[in-house]
């Protein structure tokens, strides 16, 4: 029998939590697989048990009287169940059908994997059936040089999680720190399919401020400075630039984009970010297409 613990931290999202939980409980599973959802209620009002109604009987609920943050909540949930594998889901997102089975197939193919992850997107339509799987050749580079996996797509053997755990001193970017340390722990397997959907509506904003996210990313880079090459620093500058842009701080955003350009001059993404501070999205897209034609044979760069 294989047991998968699914940790869902929640704070003040009663309307969305039930959707997330139902997407876990409705997974089609082999007879020898059990999925147990652990809801870590980080001082929600109303309490998660009340918000879930009848679904509360099908899950384990841990209640914190005062908020402890996502890192502590995920560690709490993972410690509450004696499981073989640990997976995570944010309370505003959903798993797609077949997620658990696809991840189990990856672990069957690579039983020594320290991490299996899949794609996560906003668009339901990108779900494309049976995923391809591959061993990531440079897992540290995969975490530092491009957008790392979303936590919704991460599945980890329980013994690996116990040796890594989330760093509870992080108020934000704790997932980046966790994933990078997983990448140094063993084999990393990537699945090509989208098996989870992001679903935060505007009326349910994150409890983590953009300023906290910027500070968390800077602390993440300081903690792992020895692993940050020029390319990783450029990517970090790019993400900080976009966060400053969302914060409305154009001067700081421009500084971050400019620093990314200095580190990696031929990379289109920071140029697009800088242009986006002054031009419309349509104008930026037109310039990006022109740059792509200027660099024939180069695939478009995700930012």
Q: Which helix (H) or strand (E) holds 214?
A: helix 210-223
Confidence class for position 276, pLDDT limits 50, 70, 90:
confident
Confidence class for position 286, pLDDT limits 50, 70, 90:
confident
**Where among 154, 175, 197 does a domain terminate?**
197
| Residue 264 domain boundaries | 229-294
> How confident is the model at residue 206, as a pLDDT?
59
Number of domains in the chain: 2
In the predicted structure, residue 207 carries a pLDDT above the cut 90: no
Q: Which helix (H) or strand (E) holds 80?
A: helix 70-80
pTM of the model: 0.89
Domain with residue 95: its CATH number is 3.90.550.10
User: How far is residue 279 from each of residues 135, 202, 250, 285, measured CA to CA in Å?
Assistant: 40, 24, 13, 10
> How confident is the model at residue 275, as a pLDDT?
86
Are 154 and 283 found together in one domain?
Answer: no
Are 51 and 149 found together in one domain?
Answer: yes
Residues 6+ apart with CB under 8 A from 201: 16, 92
Confidence class for position 238, pLDDT limits 50, 70, 90:
very high
Are 63 and 174 found together in one domain?
Answer: yes
- Give the model confidence (pLDDT) of 88-112 as tens digits: 999 999 999 999 999 999 999 999 9
- Diameter over CA atoms, the chain: 59
The fraction of the chain above a pLDDT of 70, given in percent, is 87
Are 250 and 103 found together in one domain?
Answer: no
In the predicted structure, residue 156 carries a pLDDT above the cut 80: yes
> How confident is the model at residue 53, as a pLDDT?
92
- Give the model confidence (pLDDT) of 242-264 as tens digits: 999 988 999 999 999 999 999 99
Are 253 and 134 found together in one domain?
Answer: no
């Amino acid at each position: 029998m294989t047991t998968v613990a699914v940790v869902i931290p929640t704070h003040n999202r009663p309307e969305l939590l039930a959707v997330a939980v139902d997407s876990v409980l409705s997974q089609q599973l082999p007879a020898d697989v059990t999925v147990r959802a652990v809801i870590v209620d980080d001082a929600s009002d109303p309490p998660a048990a009340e918000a879930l109604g009848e679904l509360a009987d099908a899950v384990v609920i841990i209640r914190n009287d005062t908020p402890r943050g996502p890192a502590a909540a995920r560690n709490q949930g993972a410690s509450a169940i004696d499981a073989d594998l640990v997976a995570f889901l944010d309370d505003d997102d959903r798993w797609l059908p077949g997620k658990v089975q696809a991840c189990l197939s990856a672990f069957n193919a690579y039983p020594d994997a320290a991490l299996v992850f899949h794609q996560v997107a906003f668009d339901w339509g990108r779900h494309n059936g049976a995923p391809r799987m591959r061993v990531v050749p440079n897992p540290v580079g995969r975490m530092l040089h491009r957008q790392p996996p979303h936590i919704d797509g991460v599945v980890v053997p329980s013994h690996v999680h116990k040796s890594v755990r989330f760093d509870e001193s992080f108020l934000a970017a704790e997932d980046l720190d966790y994933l990078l340390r997983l990448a140094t722990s063993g084999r990393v397997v990537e699945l090509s399919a989208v098996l989870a959907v992001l679903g935060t509506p505007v009326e349910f904003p994150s409890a983590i401020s953009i300023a906290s996210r910027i500070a968390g990313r800077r602390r993440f880079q300081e903690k792992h400075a020895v692993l940050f090459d020029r390319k990783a620093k450029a990517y970090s500058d790019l993400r900080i630039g976009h966060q400053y842009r969302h914060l409305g701080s154009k001067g700081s955003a421009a500084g971050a984009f400019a620093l990314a350009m200095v580190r990696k001059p031929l990379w289109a993404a920071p140029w697009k970010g800088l242009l986006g501070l002054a031009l419309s999205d349509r104008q930026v897209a037109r310039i990006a297409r022109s740059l792509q034609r200027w660099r024939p044979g180069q695939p478009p760069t995700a930012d």
